[in-house]
Amino acid sequence: PPGQESGLIGIAVDPNYLSNGFVYLFHTTIDGSENRITRVRDVAGSGTQATVVTPPGALPNHPFRIHNGGVMTFGPDGMLYVSTGDAENQFTPQDPTSWQGKILRFQPPNLSFPADNPVPNSPVYAFGIRNTFGLAFHPRQPWLYGSENGYLVGDEINRIVAGGNHGWPQHEGPTSEGSGLVDPLLTVDPQPVFTGIGFYQGSRYPAYRDHLFVCQWLQGEVRALRLSQSGNGIVDDFLFADHGHAFGVTTGPDGNLWVLHGPSLGGASEVGRYVPQNGPAASIELVSMSGPVVGGSLTVGVEAPAGMFVGPWVASQRYAPPVPTPLGVLEAPLDALLPVVLVPPSGFTCIAIPVPNVATLVGLDVHAQAATADPTTFGLALTNAPSIQLR
């Protein structure tokens, strides 16, 4: 339906996508009366077997179709986390029986309720949410963060606490000691209209690794936050870019920062990339695109001139010190060779690597590197060697 914050609002890819092809959609019904989560299966690039996996009436829409939330992400525990707005009803965020004004937690693929949720026999994971456009897990810790659109005091960045009451509508911004409410990490007034958030985990911007990037829709800015070691504070906060109104931000499979732009709150229209200048002629990236890596998959992104051959491999250790060779610095020994790829005209391709669900793999550091061959110049070289920790 037209208008406001309705339509296709959220999307999440199942960690076991390589085997089951499942994708989850948070969307408004055609008549605009409610929101639902529907699971589809990717078959040859088409969504099939659409199955509504939320009960009828669980997420009613507001007549003005606002405060729906709808952002979804998989956690390192394999569960699906979903934000819901209060639908302009100030009673729902504090009502434990309502699914609105909450962070919800589900067990895929049928979205059953995990037995260890804070509210028994319920998907409710956290309370007191007004409206959230952004959810993101820390890439190295099981910490969940969310953006919050405020009313009078300002917009917030919150570390979401299991069973925690994040205040709305009782309170906005920092609270007094002993209130029993969860304080935000950051409150900004006047409201910048926080939308999407995401952690950077690539190697293109080493200084920003593990920083939390936040879209400020109203100013058309993206800010970067460096968190404290505990994850409960912000030690650095600065403007990263101001190139347009953004709804979402994430690390792309090429290791660059990808941003979803749109001219109005009615929807996004393009995906842009922040690409550092003077980068290597050919490079690879190792990125976890969704949810847990162990039992899911890693993505190796290859960016190089079109027509180049790239032979990537992965390793569980690094040479210390790295080994100089005539082709460049060899940093990762070859444990497992990946398919050699011919870079297409777009200059980018990626390879998905399934990771077995084996407990001993959790915490393992994985490194990648690649040999490149340019058939036009007969040039041979080695790429960079990014790393990632399995979780």
pLDDT digit string (tens) for 47-71? 999 999 999 999 998 777 888 899 9
pLDDT digit string (tens) for 325-383? 999 999 999 999 999 999 999 999 999 999 999 999 999 999 999 999 999 999 999 99
* DSSP annotation string for 72-99: EEE-TTS-EEEE---TT-TTGGG-TT--
Residue 175: pLDDT band (50, 70, 90) is: confident
* DSSP annotation string for 204-249: SSGGGTTPEEEEETTTTEEEEEEEPTTSSSEEEEEEEE-SS-EEEE
Mean pLDDT, residues 105-113 taken together:
97
* DSSP annotation string for 274-285: E--TT--SSEEE
What percentage of residues in the chain have a pLDDT greater than 90?
73
pLDDT of 61 reads 87
Mean pLDDT, residues 107-127 taken together:
97
pLDDT of 1 reads 46
316 in Cβ contact with 366 (< 8 Å): yes
pLDDT digit string (tens) for 315-326? 999 999 999 999
pLDDT digit string (tens) for 128-144? 999 999 999 999 899 99
pLDDT of 317 reads 94
pLDDT of 2 reads 52
pLDDT digit string (tens) for 5-36? 888 899 999 999 999 999 999 999 988 889 99
* pTM for the model: 0.93
* DSSP annotation string for 207-219: GGTTPEEEEETTT
Question: What's the rounded Cα separation, in Å, for the pair 151 and 149?
Answer: 7
pLDDT of 50 reads 95
pLDDT of 115 reads 97
